[in-house]
């Protein structure tokens, strides 16, 4: 996860599901036995489940190729003009957006990323619980609206490096992907050219060159970070963010007007969200049947093991429906797609569909996160200037030690930079109030002096898949619709703990080189400060690709080994979770899978 200018919320670790009764339904749950199952008369060429980065991409690519698709989305339709609060002022909302009873002012905000964030995302929702194995921690952020989490996301868009596709060959840990950087590069080109990604060609091995929109200039604190990095021989380069900045715009989307509010959604569609950039334009082709509030429950197969239909719950009418298809694409997000496969059981596949290898739900990873902030005294009382820009950092630090032999952990991380002069929210100066003496004018003076003087560094690092981290169906809990929920197991390994320790040392040295005073650091050597699994919101790998059907779910085109008319287009296909945020790679792989699928359909192979 990368947050632009909205403070990170904290979620609750445990779900709130109904316990299942004898027929598998929870007390409040939708009663399946009462359902009227109505199969669609139409057989769609392709049914796509989920409209986020993966589903939106497949929808747009197939519709442009003339293929009729149905898109099932569990959330509501999006109306950007109404749903995005991009230009709303705090004073336009009761309690300036800290909750109907000002809860956020006194403690935890009822909104995961603040009232103004794009709708409808949540860590916990009583309709859709999940559980976590006793003694472990995992948090699962989901969005239920057209476009899924691409409405919310930070839009940092980094290509994997060539070595990221070959982790086992590099250091003997994990597994190599069945594809190389060269295989995927043409689809990175297509993705960047279409969605618009800022950046600069730096010829840095960990940050391959791409097709970039012009990067905006750095803000003052970023200039200072770069100066410190130059002294320490660490690269600091323009950020790569899915935002259109060319004065000519892109595909009818105007350039960014630098309001700095990407996390709220962008009314002009200058930043990428699959809802605005892919699904809404695809609807105009007339080839997309969009069904919102459609919660897919399971995939229905025939005697040959082919998927013939998707069963879903119409959340508005609380009825069960079936939609028939020639091909199905799972793009409900990595864990939700694994859940669908595991819940699709029949005598021929009692452990779930496409799960002969037993690896559905396995190899789950998130990104390693560790943050450190510092006060930079030289920035106190700085003349105020307009640091509006993209809704996220303008500079970042790519990984720089891949050739280093003496570090005590495998793989690497990149560093995201926070700071500047964003619009303060209510409660923003609590910290200053605890540090400064007095009230009235002296307190105001202290706030003025301190505002804009902090810089935060956030490490985002690679986690090695381990056998203690996976998801499975909880046999005892179902959601509101009677669908069995996921139970998560999550444990960091020693490699991740050592990596967090390295982040701490590095961040401290950058911040102190800037003359900064580090704020009460967490100590990774005692397990403090490393993120809770899932909270970086980069969960991938639950239906991984590979050449061997015994150890993987999908082939190198994201097609199930065992079910030829089943594809997965979300992060489930990832074999490893490099330090790069995953969404650009999800888009590239989904695009490639869609083109392959169309060709296989044309040849009559699926």
Stretch that binds ligand SF4, among 258-266, 273-281, 297-305, 442-450 (CB under 6 A): 258-266
Q: Three-class SS of residue 480?
A: coil
- Length of the chain, in residues: 606
Angstrom distance (rounded) from CA 94 to CA 92: 7
CB of 390 to ligand SF4, least distance (A): 5
CB of 405 to ligand FAD, least distance (A): 30
DSSP H or E run through 103: helix 103-106
75 or 391, CB closer to ligand SF4?
391
CB of 421 to ligand SF4, least distance (A): 15
CB of 150 to ligand SF4, least distance (A): 13
The interaxial angle of helices 53-64 and 583-602, nearest 10 deg, is 40
Give the contacts of 91 (CB within 8 A, at least 6 positions apart).
none
Angstrom distance (rounded) from CA 131 to CA 351: 20
Q: Is the dihedral of CA 406, 409, 412, 417 positive or negative?
A: negative
Using CB under 6 A, which of 115, 138, 141, 454 touches ligand FAD?
141
Pairing of strands 294-301, 142-143: unpaired
Angstrom distance (rounded) from CA 373 to CA 416: 12
Q: Is the dihedral of CA 79, 83, 84, 85 positive or negative?
A: positive
Interaction between residue 262 and ligand SF4 (CB under 6 A): yes
Alpha helices in 130-219 (DSSP H): 167-171, 181-195
266 or 397, CB closer to ligand SF4?
266
118 or 191, CB closer to ligand SF4?
118
Find the binding residues for ligand SF4 in span 70-99 (CB under 6 A): 86
Q: Three-class SS of residue 509?
A: helix
CB 360 within 8 A of CB 542: yes
The residues that bridge with 296 in the sheet, in sequence order, are 312
Extract the tokens encoding 395.
């500079």
Interaction between residue 18 and ligand FAD (CB under 6 A): no
Stretch that binds ligand FAD, among 72-80, 252-260, 315-323, 354-362 (CB under 6 A): 72-80
Contact pattern for ligand SF4 over residues 428 through 447, marking x by CB under 6 A: --------------------
Find the binding residues for ligand FAD in span 547-606 (CB under 6 A): 570-571, 581-583, 586
Using CB under 6 A, which of 32, 60, 85, 152 touches ligand FAD?
152
Interaction between residue 72 and ligand FAD (CB under 6 A): yes
235 or 249, CB closer to ligand SF4?
249
CB 212 within 8 A of CB 200: yes
Q: Three-class SS of residue 112?
A: coil
The residues that bridge with 458 in the sheet, in sequence order, are 371, 416
Interaction between residue 257 and ligand SF4 (CB under 6 A): yes
CB of 407 to ligand FAD, least distance (A): 25
Interaction between residue 258 and ligand SF4 (CB under 6 A): yes
* Nearest residue to ligand FAD, by Cβ distance, number only: 52
Interaction between residue 261 and ligand SF4 (CB under 6 A): yes
Interaction between residue 50 and ligand FAD (CB under 6 A): yes
260 binds, options ligand SF4, ligand FAD, none, Cβ within 5 to 8 A by partner type: ligand SF4
Q: Three-class SS of residue 104?
A: helix
Angstrom distance (rounded) from CA 518 to CA 274: 38
Using CB under 6 A, which of 256, 353, 471, 477 touches ligand SF4?
256
CB 538 within 8 A of CB 366: yes
237 or 269, CB closer to ligand SF4?
269
Interaction between residue 243 and ligand SF4 (CB under 6 A): yes
160 alpha-carbon distance from chain centroid = 15
Find the binding residues for ligand SF4 in span 364-393 (CB under 6 A): 390-391
| Sites of contact with ligand FAD (CB under 6 A) | 1-3, 49-55, 72-75, 113, 121, 141, 143-144, 148-150, 152-156, 294-296, 331-333, 336, 537-538, 570-571, 581-583, 586
């Amino acid at each position: 996860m990368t947050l632009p200018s909205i403070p990170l919320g904290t979620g609750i670790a445990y779900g709130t599901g109904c316990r299942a009764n004898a027929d598998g339904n929870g007390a409040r749950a939708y009663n399946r036995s009462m359902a009227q199952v109505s199969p669609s008369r139409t057989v769609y060429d392709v049914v796509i489940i989920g409209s986020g980065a993966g589903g939106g991409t497949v929808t747009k690519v197939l519709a442009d190729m003339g293929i009729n698709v149905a898109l099932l989305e569990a959330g509501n339709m999006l109306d950007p003009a109404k749903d995005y609060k991009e230009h709303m002022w705090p004073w336009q909302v009761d309690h300036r957006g800290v909750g109907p009873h000002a809860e956020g002012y006194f403690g935890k905000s009822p909104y995961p990323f603040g009232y103004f964030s794009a709708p409808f995302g949540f860590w916990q929702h009583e309709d859709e619980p999940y559980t976590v194995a006793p003694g472990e921690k995992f948090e699962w952020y989901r969005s239920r609206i057209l476009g899924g989490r691409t409405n919310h996301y930070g839009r940092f868009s980094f290509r994997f490096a060539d070595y990221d596709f070959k982790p086992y060959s590099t250091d003997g840990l994990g597994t190599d992907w069945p594809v190389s950087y060269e295989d995927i590069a043409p689809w990175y080109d297509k993705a960047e050219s279409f969605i618009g990604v800022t950046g600069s060609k730096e010829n840095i091995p960990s940050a391959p060159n791409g097709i970039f929109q012009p990067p905006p200039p750095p803000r003052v604190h970023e200039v200072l970070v770069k100066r410190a990095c130059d002294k320490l021989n660490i690269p600091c380069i323009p950020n790569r963010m899915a935002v259109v900045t060319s004065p000519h715009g892109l595909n009818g989307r105007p350039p960014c007007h630098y309001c700095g509010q990407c996390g709220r959604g962008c009314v002009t569609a200058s930043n990428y969200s699959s809802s605005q950039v892919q699904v809404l334009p695809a609807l105009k082709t007339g080839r997309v049947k969009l069904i919102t509030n459609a919660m897919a429950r399971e995939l229905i197969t025939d005697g040959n093991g082919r998927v013939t239909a998707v069963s879903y719950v119409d959340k508005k009418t609380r009825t069960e429906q079936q939609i028939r298809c020639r091909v199905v694409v799972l793009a409900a997000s990595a864990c939700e797609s694994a859940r669908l496969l595991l819940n699709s059981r029949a005598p021929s596949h009692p452990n779930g569909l496409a799960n002969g290898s037993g690896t559905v739900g396995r190899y789950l990873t998130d990104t390693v996160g560790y943050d450190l902030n510092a006060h930079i005294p030289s920035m106190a009382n700085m003349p105020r200037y307009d640091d509006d820009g993209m809704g996220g950092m303008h500079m970042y630090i790519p990984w720089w030690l891949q050739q280093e032999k003496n570090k005590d952990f495998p793989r690497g991380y990149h560093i995201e930079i926070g700071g500047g002069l964003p619009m303060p929210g209510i409660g923003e100066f609590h910290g200053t109030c605890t540090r400064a003496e007095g009230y009235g004018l002296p307190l105001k003076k202290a706030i003025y002096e301190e505002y804009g003087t902090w810089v935060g560094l956030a490490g985002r690092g690679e986690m090695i898949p381990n056998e203690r981290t996976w998801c499975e169906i909880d046999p005892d809990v179902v959601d509101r619709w009677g669908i069995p929920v996921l139970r998560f197991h999550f444990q960091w390994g020693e490699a991740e703990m050592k990596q967090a320790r390295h982040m701490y040392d590095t961040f401290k040295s950058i911040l102190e080189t800037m003359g900064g005073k580090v704020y009460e650091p967490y100590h990774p050597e005692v397990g403090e400060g490393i993120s809770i699994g899932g909270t970086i919101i980069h969960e991938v790998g639950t239906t991984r690709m590979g050449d061997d059907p015994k150890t993987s779910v999908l082939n190198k085109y994201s097609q199930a080994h065992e079910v030829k008319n089943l594809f997965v287009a979300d992060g489930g296909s990832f074999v490893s979770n490099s330090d790069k945020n995953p969404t650009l790679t999800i888009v590239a792989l989904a695009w490639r899978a869609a083109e392959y699928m169309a060709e296989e359909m044309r040849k009559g192979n699926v």
